[in-house]
């Protein structure tokens, strides 16, 4: 979409006005600074997703829309999670982070802050593997997606 003030609120407003769900939304400018790319995750029947797509297409600032589910695609989400880490837990959490290919990016004597990238379900799985009360704080970006192979989304 056009990288213009207000474009994001048009998208968000459309979803709330028409009663569609936004599971997650991630947006940033692209290599062409006049354009932003947004990955939006929504849930709905085929009919609803069709309507969502059509309605989004009507927004003047939306340049192009693809449904990544129409083809093979890759999606990744970034999570930063602060975990209570004292005593024997410290080793355990470190190992778990390694298993999930996360990295510890900040350390205090009571906590680790772990950076983790992957599909949203992988991030969910990591959180489930850790004792609920040990999770002090999480922040997630929402998924970003791109098609597989040589095909590119061009304007």
Partner 1 sequence: MSVELTGAEITIRCLQEEGVQCIFGYPGGAVLFIYDELFKQDKVRHILVRHEQAAIHAADGYARSSNKVGVALVTSGPGVTNAVTGIATAYMDSIPMVVISGQVPTSAIGLDAFQEVDTVGITRPCVKHNFLVKDVTELALTIKKAFYIASTGRPGPVLVDIPKDVSQQKTKFEYPDKISMRSYNPVTKGHTRQIKKAAELILSAKRPMVYAGGGVILSDAAPQLTELTQMLNFPCTNTLMGLGGYPATDKQSLGMLGMHGTYEANMAMQYCDVLIAVGARFDDRVIGNPKHFFNENRKIIHIDIDPSSISKRVKVDVPIVGDVLDVLKELIKLLKAEKEKPDQTALKEWWKQIELWRERDCLKFDRSSKIIKPQMVIEKLFNVTKGDAFITSDVGQHQMWAAQFYKFDKPRRWINSGGLGTMGFGMPAAMGVQLANPKGKVACITGEASIQMCIQELSTCKQYKLPLKIINLNNRYMGMVRQWQEFFHGNRYAESYMNALPDFVKLAESYGHVGMKIEKPEDVEDALKEAFKLKDQLVFMDFITDQTENVFPMVPGGKGLSEMILV
Question: Residue 51 or 119: which CB sits closer to partner 1?
Answer: 51
Shortest Å distance, C-beta 43 to partner 1: 19
3-state percent helix, strand, coil for the chain, nearest multiple of 5: 35, 30, 35
Q: Which is nearer to partner 1, 17 or 139 (CB)?
A: 17
Minimum CB–partner distance for residue 70 and partner 1 (Å): 17
Choice between 50 and 91, CB closer to partner 1? 50
Distance, CA of 53 to CA of 21 (rounded, Å)? 13
In Å, how far are 35, 36, 79, 86 from 107, measured between CA atoms?
37, 34, 16, 11
Question: How does DSSP classify residue 84?
Answer: E
Question: Is the Cβ of residue 36 or residue 111 nearer to partner 1 in the bound state?
Answer: 36
Least distance from C-beta 56 to partner 1, angstroms?
9
> By the 8 A CB rule, do 73 and 84 touch?
no
To partner 1, the closest distance from the beta carbon of 37 in angstroms equals: 13
- What residues pair up with 7 in beta bridges, in sequence order? none
User: Contact positions toward partner 1, by CB under 8 A?
Assistant: 1-2, 5-6, 9-10, 13, 17, 47, 50-51, 54-55, 57-58, 60-63, 155
């Amino acid at each position: 979409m056009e990288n213009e003030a207000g474009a994001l609120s048009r998208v968000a407003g459309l979803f709330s006005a028409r009663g569609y769900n936004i599971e997650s939304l991630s947006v940033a400018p692209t290599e062409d600074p006049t354009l932003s790319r947004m990955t939006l995750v929504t849930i709905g029947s085929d009919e609803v997703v069709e309507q969502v797509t059509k309605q989004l297409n009507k927004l003047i600032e939306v340049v192009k829309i693809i449904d990544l589910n129409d083809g093979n695609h890759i999606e990744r989400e970034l999570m930063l999670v602060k975990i209570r880490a004292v005593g024997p837990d410290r080793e355990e959490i470190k190992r778990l982070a390694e298993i999930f290919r996360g990295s510890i990016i900040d350390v205090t004597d009571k906590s680790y802050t772990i950076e983790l990238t992957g599909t949203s379900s992988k991030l969910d799985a990591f959180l489930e593997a850790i004792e609920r009360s040990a999770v002090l704080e999480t922040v997630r970006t929402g998924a970003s997606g791109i098609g597989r192979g040589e095909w590119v989304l061009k304007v």
